[in-house]
Amino acid sequence: SSSSSSSSSSPSASPSSQEAYDKEFNQPNNIREEMYRLEKNKMRSRTEGKACLDRYRLASSRIFSLIDETLAENLGRKNFILERASIDELFIDVTAFCCSPSEDGDDDDNDDNDDDDTKEKVTTTTAAAMQFRSDCGTAAVQSLRKTAICHGEYVDSAERNDQIGQALRLGCHVALTARRAVFEKLGFTLSAGISTSKLVSKLAATYGKPDGQAVVFPGAMAKLMEETPIKKTRLLGGKLGKKVQSLLPDFETTLGSISRLLPLDVLEKAIGEESGRWVFDACRGIDFEEVRPTLKVLPKSITAFKSFSKVSYPELEKWTVRYFFGYMGRNFLPR
């Protein structure tokens, strides 16, 4: 079961990160209002453009860390995988918790650690996780009632209560728990999508915006595909999506159109065997891409760029000479 949120990491935010967050967000109201008044509709520097993402990055880091802490406490660290997809989006695989819940708790890989404080922390975490499990039965039912069921008319009671249905219900409860923790501690609202894959979870999240969550059961998959535009689908918004669209009539623009009109051999011939197979599965809600832990992975590259309107070559040369190196220095070196 995957959930996508419209967000590594060490288990908790470092003191410097927490202090920076508090300094930026936890100021008295009068100071915050003055900060916003001074910054409203103003550029910090002519060379930085209209937006500065410093505050956004800081909030993103703290939100992701809090979600990681919350899940580690309630599920046990071995029972979830968190992948940071972008500055404001993440995927969480909670299959280990939802499909095979254990009563044994989680030792957080500290079996050989003799430190008393560490053992006490692990014991507390394990107790919290076991309590969370014991409450899941009733709580998951309540969480499902607070979750939008995409095209629920296509999902019968048997499907809602089979093995996959029960796992998705638990996934809804996990998502609600994480969203609630972020709102109560940081004041930010999140949306979430719950389903059986990354692709469908991301689609489901759009039904939960701006401050809610939605779940897609297998029975509703075909209907969801029929109303999902190809160009709005993850990994199909660029050249691949345009190539697939070119194989269809102009008025057929959804994933459902692909599943109805393009057989596997046609797709493989047009876009290659691997891509053709992926598109063939994706338009049926099938996606085998795994959620990969990325919170502790360093970025392979760092990019800083400046966007500007169309200008003549002399003007561009003047901008480059005067501003480029200063802009890159301010944005690249701190990162």
Mean pLDDT, rounded, of the chain: 80
On whether the CB atoms of residues 54 and 60 are closer than 8 A, the answer is no
In the structure, what pLDDT confidence band is assigned to residue 156 with cuts at 50, 70 and 90? very high
* String of DSSP letters for 44-92: S-GGG-S---HHHHHHHHHHHHHHHHHHHHHH-GGG-EEEEEETTEEEE
pLDDT at 103 over 90: no
Flag the least confident range among 22-26, 82-86, 324-328: 324-328
Give me the pLDDT at residue 23, please: 74
Give me the pLDDT at residue 104, please: 45
Element (H, E) at 306: none
Give me the pLDDT at residue 190, please: 96
Q: Can you tell me which residue has the tokens 């009539």?
A: 249
Give me the pLDDT at residue 151, please: 94
Strand partners, 254: 229
Q: How far apart are CA 282 and CA 148, in angstroms?
A: 22
What does the block give as tokens for 192?
């979430």
Q: Taking residues 284-294, what's their average pLDDT?
A: 92
Give me the pLDDT at residue 329, please: 63
Flag the least confident range among 25-34, 196-205, 259-268: 25-34
pTM of the predicted model, to two decimals? Answer: 0.74
pLDDT at 109 over 60: no
pLDDT at 146 over 50: yes
Polymer length in residues for the chain = 335
Compute CA distances 4 → 86, 164, 297, 318, whole Å.
Answer: 11, 18, 19, 44
In 3D, which of 161, 156, 104 has the Cα closest to residue 129? 104
pLDDT tens, 27-50?
Answer: 787 877 776 676 665 555 555 555
Give me the pLDDT at residue 299, please: 54
pLDDT tens, 291-314?
Answer: 999 865 555 555 555 565 665 566
Q: Taking residues 57-76, what's their average pLDDT?
A: 91
pLDDT at 214 over 90: yes
Q: Taking residues 166-192, what's their average pLDDT?
A: 94
Give me the pLDDT at residue 323, please: 62
Q: Beta strand pairing status for 192-195 and 213-215?
A: parallel
